[in-house]
Amino acid sequence: MFDRIDNLFKVFPIIALGLLSLSVGCGPGDRVEVYPTKGVVLFGGEPMMGGGAISFVPIDSQAGKAAGGTVDKEGNFTMSTYDPGDGSMAGKFRVVVMQSTSDEIETVGDTDIEGAADSEAEAESTVPVAKRIPFTYADPANSPLTVEIKPEGPNELTLELSK
Amino acid sequence: MKAIVTDSIGRRRVSLHPRHGFTLVELLVVIAIIGVMVGLLLPAVQAAREAARRMSCQNNLKQMGLALHNYHDTHRVFPPGVVNPRDPNPNGANGSGVPAMGANWAAFILPYLEQQAHWEGVMTIVQERPEVVDWYGHGVYVNRGITVGSQPLPAYTCPSHPSADHQMANGTAMEHLGRGNYGANYGKGGYGRVHTGDGRVGGPMANNGKLSMTDIRDGTSNTLMVSELKFRVTGANRHQDTRGTWAYGAMTASLLTTRTGPNSPVPDGVWGCRSEPAEGMPCIQIGSPYTENYSAARGYHPGGVLGTLADGSVNFYSESIALDIWQALGTRAGGEAPRTE
């Protein structure tokens, strides 16, 4: 009985090796290191209205997946790359901000009757014109905002937008 | 019972070939080894299955590339991304009888994908209802046997996508459109002609576009033509999400941009979507102006998306591709020097 337990201990490293090779074999491929990044978008000193999207465009043709995030109605955002909220890779980026200024009205599916297909799917404005950010911030080539994400952090950004 | 056990032990002792049962420890070791081997094998089997599905998706893209080339041979131009008389904003016109959004590239190449019956359905609807897209898959026509748009077509469905048999139903009269997984490339800008009309920004297809090979000055081997799109699988509001709908010529339904990278974490800016980051499908509503709609190529293959270039070749693009290379692939006349990583 005792030498059988000994045998088990001899087999154990093989099992451990097997499990190890399993975990190595399924590791993520060409992922780059990402660092937690979050911040707030201000327009004229106040949080940007309406929410929207934020995207990092690498300035010096850097390889690796570029980060993005959703800006909430209070102007806050958290960048994600591979998993929600994991951050951005390090480097210099042009920041592109898209503002959502209208909302689609919630609709219900129609019936299958001819003529029932009326649709008032026009936009419902959620942001007054004075609170809308200039288009240049949504232009990936010309947005004036730039940031640098550093591995040592903390990457807490305050993006000041102006007219 | 006892007598037999004693008996058998006695027999074993005298036997030249000793036989005994397995102890618990030995059994556990064997199970552990089998467990490890299965653990090693199962991911390999799954990977092989995904590889086969991916091949099927690649084949679909190849067929689309051929169909687009055959269309080009016949008409001397690539099909428009979508016929859109109210370019760029057909909103509010759908179902009103006003010509809004018409046939898209996926409809125009139907005859070249051996879908003649569906193409005749398109033409019937075009002649009877100039506003067209509202009536794809509509009960009025489905009852007459014209089912174009209402069904997913195998040619436009990537098997890597989790199956879901639902149709779009966003209340804008385009209720019954079947899902699809492919989008024409509109370049690195957005939906409107302000972007797609400019060769430095737009792709090989555009709203009302009549672009030919000669317009693709970056070279057909350096310009993306078709790539992949996802549609929603879960969530109560998935029917209202227009993303991944083959017969609907809206951004992210059957059109995409290279403004953001493959499988980008940047939310797509489209009209008629409900964000679902958990499915890798974040989005925000951009309805005013409609010209600014954009959408990333998205797929279910691990690590990237497949795409057909304008020369008809099919490649896999890693989601780690440098964004400027991806955007250069998206433009038809960007003048970027071809560069690989």
Mode of pairing for the β-strands spanning A91-99 and A68-71 = unpaired
How far does CA B28 lie from the centroid of its chain? Answer: 46
Q: What is the pLDDT of residue B176?
A: 79
Q: What is the interface size between A and B, counted as CB pairs within 8 Å?
A: 175
pLDDT digits (tens, 9 = 90+) for B178-222: 889 999 999 998 888 888 888 999 999 998 989 999 999 999 999
Cβ contact A15–B303 (<8 Å):
no
Q: What is the mean pLDDT of residues B324-330?
A: 92
Domain boundaries, chain B: 41-330
Compute the nearest-CA separation of A80 from chain B (Å).
6
Of the pLDDT bands very low, low, confident and very high (cuts 50, 70, 90), residue B129 is confident
Return the residue in B42, B128, B172 with the most chain A beta carbons within 10 A, the one to mutate for interface testing: B172
In angstroms, rounded to a whole number, what is the distance separating the alpha carbons of residues B180 and B244?
5
Q: What is the mean pLDDT of residues B79-93?
A: 79
Instruction: Quote ipTM for the complex.
Output: 0.79
Q: Is residue B63 over pLDDT 80?
A: yes
Q: Which domains does chain A have, with CATH numbers?
A: 32-104+121-161 (2.60.40)
pLDDT digits (tens, 9 = 90+) for B13-36: 555 555 678 899 999 999 999 999
Q: Is residue B1 over pLDDT 80?
A: no
Q: Which residues from chain A sit within 8 angstroms of residue B92, using beta carbons? A: 119-122
- Which chain A residues in 26-45 lie under 8 Å from chain B, judged by CB atoms? 26, 29-32
Cβ contact A102–B94 (<8 Å):
no
pLDDT digits (tens, 9 = 90+) for B258-315: 999 999 999 999 887 888 888 889 999 887 778 889 999 999 998 899 999 999 999 9
Tell me the pLDDT of chain B averaged across its residues: 86
Q: Is residue B12 over pLDDT 70?
A: no
A58 vs B263, B265, B323: nearest CB: B323
Q: A109 at the B interface (CB within 8 A)?
A: yes
Q: What is the pLDDT of residue B314?
A: 96
Cβ contact B172–A65 (<8 Å):
no
The total of other beta-carbon atoms located within 10 Å of residue B160's CB is 22
Q: What is the pLDDT of residue B187?
A: 93
Ranges assigned E (strand) in B49-205: 182-185
Cβ contact A81–B265 (<8 Å):
yes
Collect all residues with Cβ–Cβ distance below 8 Å to A23 and sequence separation of at least 6. Answer: none
Q: Which residues from chain B sit within 8 angstroms of residue A26, using beta carbons? A: 43
pLDDT means per 10 residues, chain A with 163 residues, are: 54 57 53 92 91 91 90 93 91 93 61 38 73 88 91 89 86
Q: What is the pLDDT of residue A26?
A: 46
B36 vs A19, A79, A102: nearest CB: A19
Q: Is residue B332 over pLDDT 90?
A: yes
Q: What is the mean pLDDT of residues B50-67?
A: 95
Compute the nearest-CA separation of A144 from chain B (Å).
17
In angstroms, rounded to a whole number, what is the distance separating the alpha carbons of residues B73 and B211?
13
The total of other beta-carbon atoms located within 10 Å of residue A45's CB is 8
Q: Which residues from chain A sit within 8 angstroms of residue B322, using beta carbons? A: 58, 61-64
Q: Is residue B132 over pLDDT 70?
A: no
